[in-house]
Amino acid sequence: MSTFLGLSGVVWALIGAGLAAILGGLGSAIGITMASHAAAGVLSEDDTKFGQLLPLVAMPGTQGIYGFIAAVLVVVFFKILNGTTDISASIGFGVFLACQPVIWLSFLTAIYQGRTAVAAVGIVGSGKKVPALVFPALVETYAILALIVTILMLLGLQAAVG
């Protein structure tokens, strides 16, 4: 079994998958918490705005889903679940690197999307008839692009394994 920096290919792949799930979820939790605090303030004054605020609060949670998707794809594409997979250290490290876009962009965009959602909650609270959801949705674009890049790189590595 080959190793790179003392770790097998499977371990490298699992580190990438684990970090994608952990940091995507952590960023989402932070972003949702920020948006929830702001929404709770508005709702304490006007509970009729719940329907407008819920999407703003929930939106930073999608990055946790993207990290989860990436982690599941690593496990499925490289047949890690059955315990018999022996991918080379270079492929495993490649999987770890392929997870980096979704790891970091899911984490960071969830936090910044939460901050943007806080501002959008303020718009809803003011009663202005502006599509406030557009602003946090713009941040979402970069998390989606990161997931696509990670998936494409994982597919390339899967093809290399054969």
Q: Is 83 helix (H, G, I), strand (E, B) or coil?
A: coil
CATH of the domain at 120: 1.20.120.610
- Please tell me the predicted confidence (pLDDT) of residue 82: 75
pLDDT tens digit string along 94-139? Answer: 999 999 999 999 999 999 999 999 999 999 999 888 899 999 999 9
pLDDT at 26 over 80: yes
Mean confidence (pLDDT) of the chain? 94
8 Å CB contact between 116 and 140? no
Instruction: Calculate mean pLDDT across residues 138-150.
Output: 97
How many domains does the structure of the chain reveal? 1
Asked if residue 1 is part of any domain, the answer here is no
Q: pTM here? A: 0.92
- Please tell me the predicted confidence (pLDDT) of residue 90: 94
Asked if residue 2 is part of any domain, the answer here is no
How many angstroms separate the Cα of 137 from the Cα of each of 15, 41, 112, 131? Answer: 29, 22, 11, 11
8 Å CB contact between 23 and 100? no
- Please tell me the predicted confidence (pLDDT) of residue 30: 98
State the pLDDT confidence band at 156, using cuts at 50, 70 and 90: very high
| Of 17, 122, 102, 15, residue with least CA distance to 62 | 102
State the pLDDT confidence band at 84, using cuts at 50, 70 and 90: low
Structural domain boundaries, residue 145: 7-161
pLDDT at 1 over 90: no
- Please tell me the predicted confidence (pLDDT) of residue 72: 97
